[in-house]
């Protein structure tokens, strides 16, 4: 089990973020006899997933919805699947946009390099 500070360090996020995720009911850590938060390996794995969703621009409201559906049980699997498929489509659009932007940047960088050093 990990304390909140250990979990935060392991995940490279702040303790404040962990408390916020708890407040938003995205994570429900265990509590020890003293009432202190404890995070097990399953919590860490879940939080890594949440962090990836956040990094790929999934809105917090959707992450919260997914978490709620997961906590409700197996009868929500189809709804969770739809939510993740929608997000995957969004990620694919982001990838496409980034690839197009990279090509444009490569072209612009090449143009500047040629202007600066025309003999190369």
In tens digits, the chain (120 residues) has pLDDT values of 999 999 999 999 999 999 999 999 999 999 999 999 999 999 999 999 999 999 999 999 999 999 999 999 999 999 999 999 999 999 999 999 999 999 999 999 999 999 998 876
pLDDT score of 119: 74
pLDDT score of 120: 60
Q: Which helix (H) or strand (E) holds 97?
A: helix 77-116
The span from the CA of 20 to the CA of 70, in Å, is 19
Pairing of strands 30-31, 37-38: antiparallel
Domains of the chain as residue ranges with CATH: 1-55 (1.10.1660.10), 57-120 (1.10.1660.10)
pLDDT score of 65: 95
Tokens representing 102? 């990279």
């Amino acid at each position: 089990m990990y304390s909140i500070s250990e979990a935060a360090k392991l995940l490279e996020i702040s303790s404040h973020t962990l408390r916020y995720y708890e407040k938003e009911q995205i994570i429900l850590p265990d509590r020890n006899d003293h009432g202190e938060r404890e995070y097990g390996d399953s919590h860490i794995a879940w939080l890594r997933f949440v962090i990836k969703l956040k990094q790929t621009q999934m809105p917090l409201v959707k992450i919260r919805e997914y978490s709620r559906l997961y906590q409700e049980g197996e009868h929500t699997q189809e709804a969770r699947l739809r939510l993740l498929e929608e997000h995957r489509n969004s990620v694919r659009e982001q990838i496409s946009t980034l690839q197009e932007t990279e090509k444009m940047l490569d072209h612009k960088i090449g143009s500047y390099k040629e202007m600066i050093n025309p003999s190369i």
